[in-house]
A and B are shown apart, each in its own frame.
Chain A
Amino acid sequence: MTTPAVLDIRGLNVDYGLGSKAVHAVRDVNLTLHRGEVLGLAGESGSGKSTLAYAVTRLLSPPGVITGGEVIYHPRKGEPIDILDLGSEQLRAFRWQEISLVFQGAMNSLNPVHTVRSQLTDVLKAHRADMPRAARDARAAELLSLVGISRDRLGSYPHQLSGGMRQRVMIAMALALDPDIVILDEPTTALDVVMQRQILRQLTRLRAQLDFSVVFITHDISLLIEFSDRIAIMYGGRIVEEAGSKEIYETSNHPYSHGLLHSFPALHGPRRELTGIPGSPPDLTAMPSGCAFHPRCPRKFEPCDQRVPVLAPPTPGSDRSVACWLHAEH
């Protein structure tokens, strides 16, 4: 059922800082987003999830630098484009229009002195200069109802809205120009579960309606399993496993994925043993040799601290992949 790719990330590397002081926050990442799918990206804090999102949208600010790789966007019509080759003028047109990002903690980034209406119409004004004012207002109202906020809230200021509503305004803004790809970085982490579920439901409904693809970043893997089609797991800047969300829930191949899945207490079903993950996340300035997970891995063996395992299908022809010596020839 795989649809064509809309975004192809190939060999992406991102550093913070230059020269000998550089830390490698994203390493050799290969990842494909297909049309219409929700791709989940999970991992502990510091694993490089946000850095990856910023690099892909070219929103990385110094000292962050993209040191290699390509990010190919496949438009519905026309030739593929490498986002990393775009000039700043092209980028401005590209962002929001084709790909938009909802930042981590975005709900606090609305401008407190402007109404919801003026913040939504500003995006339209910037990109659709020829759109008449009445049409912009109508579009702003339409966007609000898309995310389940009644139109009479257009005149509200951010502080008059609850956290959940502010977050939905940010999502409305990301959808304003009908992008092909929406990247959400921890969109609901600050919200409580009732609100969280409502927003995610709305988003999946909108995806079917408006036909866009989603990259959904969070550390809450149980949320991802429910709301995404495929999941990629990051550790120390690398993707260490990628599979369909149901497959990964049923059998995780990477010991780190297994640990993540056994760190969340389950609310339903029998009580399960929680093993968690011993130790703490790696220090990017002193990355362990070989497999970066080896100091915490309960299953490490000879090759693990010597050589970096590559991300590959565990068996030929499998449509999932894993970077672990347990599943590779060594």
Chain B
Amino acid sequence: MPEIPDPPTAEVPVSDREIVLEAKDLSKHFAVRRNLRNLADRNRPVVHAVDDVNLKLRRGTVTAVVGESGSGKSTIARLLAQLYPLTGGQLLLQGKPVRAARGRAFRAYCRQVQMIFQDPFGSLNPTHTIRYHLTRALKIHKRAGNTAADLEQALKELLGRVHLTPPERYLDSFPHELSGGQRQRVAIARAMAADPQVLLADEPVSMLDVSIRLGILNLLRDLKERLNLAILYITHDIASARYFADETLVMYAGRMVEGGDSETVTQRPAHPYTQLLIGSAPDPDRVAVEAGAPAGEPTEAADAVAEAVVATEDDDRAGEPPSLINPPSGCRFHPRCPKAMERCRTELPPRFDLPGGQWAACWLYAEDAEERPVLKGAPA
């Protein structure tokens, strides 16, 4: 299979690109339903769905958030879309604090920050045509023009952007007449009707067939490049983040635990949870290597990954995510971590910077750690 070079590096390095949307110390707690036991309790328990999350979405850049089911990925997308009120923290759009979650300011926010969802079947109304959905979106965002001809032109442009051509074939269809992939393209076209700066994509391909996924991801990449969009790509498939995202952030139990450029995070994971995640992903090459094909140089990063997986394999509790009502103290990963130390049980690890813009929230990387792991063997 031919090797291809890394994705075309735009002239500007990622860290210098303009920040469009920024989240600072974002938290979201959901109240747990009242029951007899906690009815009178003033400190009623809450689900800590998201705690202290910081992220920056930059122009012309795809930022991936990966993590297991229930780790808080969708909650982050909804907070950024202002679909939920924040429990704590702040959003900055183009550097300005975002306040109103209603009225005109909210509509202006929505015009710039659009969201697409996992389920292309649920997100379109089955009783209306594609023309209706897109016309409505254009009108809401005042981009329908003045004449019927303007509108027709705008509709055709939108469908062209998501590669649904010829547009006549799709405009007057109903959602059920389209395939899952075509429906997801319509959902993307509807988001593009606002001419947004930011696109929040929550698992945009996980309900689609394998053979169609690639096409949608390529479309999103193409939009990013042509329109200079900032894209948040939420996924539980870390391999797709490697291919598709410039930067990757890893979440565990409501907290960000690692971040950096996607190639580094996937090839040289620093946090023990990321190592477990990567070690668990299906890997045909592992079979090829076992079968006697020449193995690559074993690296310390690869050893750490293997160790993380072996350590959990014989422990049936290892796969269990923690309770978010009483999250583990200290590092939330400590009950599953093969490297857990004494301080991990009590002290929350802050973010430690590593070479090359990578960072990890793990005590292994503290200045005073007894043995700081050496992360070598990074891909050239």
Q: Which residues of A contact B69 (CB under 8 A)?
A: 163, 191-192
Query: Judging by beta carbons under 8 Å apart, are B68 and A225 in contact?
Result: no
CB distance from B66 to the nearest CB of A (A): 10
Chain B residues with CB under 8 Å of A276's CB are: 211, 213-215
Whether A263 touches B214, Cβ cut-off 8 Å, given contacts A245-B287, A271-B3, is: yes
Among candidates B181, B267, B318, B320, residue contacting A162 with C-beta atoms closer than 8 Å: B320
Residues of chain B from 306 to 322 with CB closer than 8 A to chain A in the complex: 309, 312-313, 316, 318-321
Interface string of B151-185 (1 = CB under 8 A from A): 00000000000000000000000000001011000
The docked-state distance in angstroms from the alpha carbon of A269 to that of B379 is: 10
**Minimum distance in angstroms from A225 CB to a CB of chain B:** 4
Which residues between 208 and 242 of chain A lie within 8 Å of chain B, taking CB atoms?
Answer: 219-223, 225-226
- Separation of A192 and B255 alpha carbons in the complex (Å): 18
Kindly list chain B residues whose C-beta atoms are within 8 Å of the C-beta of A269: 285, 296
- The docked-state distance in angstroms from the alpha carbon of A193 to that of B4 is 27
Q: How many residues of A contact B (CB 8 A)?
A: 47
Tell me which residues across on chain A come within 8 A of B2, comparing CB atoms: 272-273
Question: Across the interface, do A280 and B179 meet the contact criterion of CB distance under 8 Å?
Answer: yes
Q: Chain B's nearest CB lies how many Å from the CB of A229? A: 11
Q: How many residues of B contact A (CB 8 A)?
A: 49
Question: In the complex, what residues of A have CB within 8 A of residue B209's CB?
Answer: 44-45, 219, 281
Q: What is the CA–CA distance of A246 and B288 in the complex, to the nearest angstrom?
A: 7
- Given A150-B316, A219-B210, is A226 in contact with B179 using a C-beta cutoff of 8 Å? no
- Checking B1, B237, B312 against A194 with a beta-carbon cut-off of 8 angstroms, the contacting residue is B312
A191 to B236, CA, bound (A): 10
- Which residues in A have their C-beta under 8 angstroms from that of B287? 225-226, 245-246, 249
**Is chain B's interface secondary structure helix, strand, loop, or mixed overall?**
helix
**Is there an interface contact between B288 and A250, defined as CB atoms closer than 8 Å?**
yes
Q: How far is the CA of A193 from the CA of B68 in the complex (A)?
A: 8
Which residues of chain A have C-beta atoms less than 8 A from B4's C-beta? 271-273
* A188-204 CB contacts (< 8 Å) to partner B: 191-198, 201
Q: Is A126 an interface residue (CB 8 A)?
A: no
Check A196 against B266 for contact (C-beta < 8 Å): no
A91 at the interface (CB under 8 A from B): no
Which of the residues A223, A270, A274 comes within 8 Å of B3, measured between beta carbons? Answer: A270
**Are A194 and B68 closer than 8 Å at their CB atoms?**
yes
- Which residues of chain B have C-beta atoms less than 8 A from A149's C-beta? 316
Cα separation A164 to B212 with both chains bound (whole Å): 27
B281 part of interface (Cβ distance < 8 Å)? yes
Determine the distance from Cα of A192 to Cα of B238 in the docked complex, in whole angstroms: 11
Q: Is the CB of B242 within 8 A of A265?
A: yes
Which chain B residues lie closer than 8 Å to A272 at the CB level?
A: 1-4
Residue of A nearest to B291 (CB): A246
A86 within 8 Å of B (CB atoms): no
User: What is the CB-to-nearest-CB distance from B13 to chain A, in angstroms, rounded to a whole number?
Assistant: 19
Asked whether B316 lies within 8 Å of A148 as measured between CB atoms, the reply is yes
CB-CB nearest in chain B for A267: B239
Q: Flag A240-273 by CB within 8 Å of B: 1 or 0 each.
A: 0000011001100000000110111111111111
Q: In the complex, which residue of chain B has the Cβ closest to the Cβ of A273?
A: B4
User: Are A267 and B238 CB-contacts (below 8 A) given A194-B312, A196-B280, A280-B179?
Assistant: yes
Say which residue of B182, B242, B281, B291 sits within 8 Å of A193 (CB atoms): B281
Which residues of B are found within 8 Å of A310, using beta-carbon distances?
none
Q: Which positions in A face B, CB cutoff 8 Å?
A: 44-45, 148-150, 162-164, 191-198, 201, 219-223, 225-226, 245-246, 249-250, 259-260, 262-274, 276-277, 280-281
Q: Sample 25 A-B pairs with CB under 8 A, ordered by A number.
A: A162-B320, A162-B321, A164-B320, A191-B69, A194-B312, A198-B313, A198-B318, A219-B210, A222-B282, A223-B282, A226-B284, A246-B288, A259-B211, A260-B210, A262-B1, A265-B240, A267-B242, A267-B283, A269-B285, A269-B296, A271-B3, A271-B243, A272-B2, A273-B4, A277-B211
Q: Which 6 residue pairs of A and B lie closest in terms of their CB atoms, listed nearest first?
A: A148-B316, A276-B214, A277-B211, A267-B239, A265-B243, A225-B284
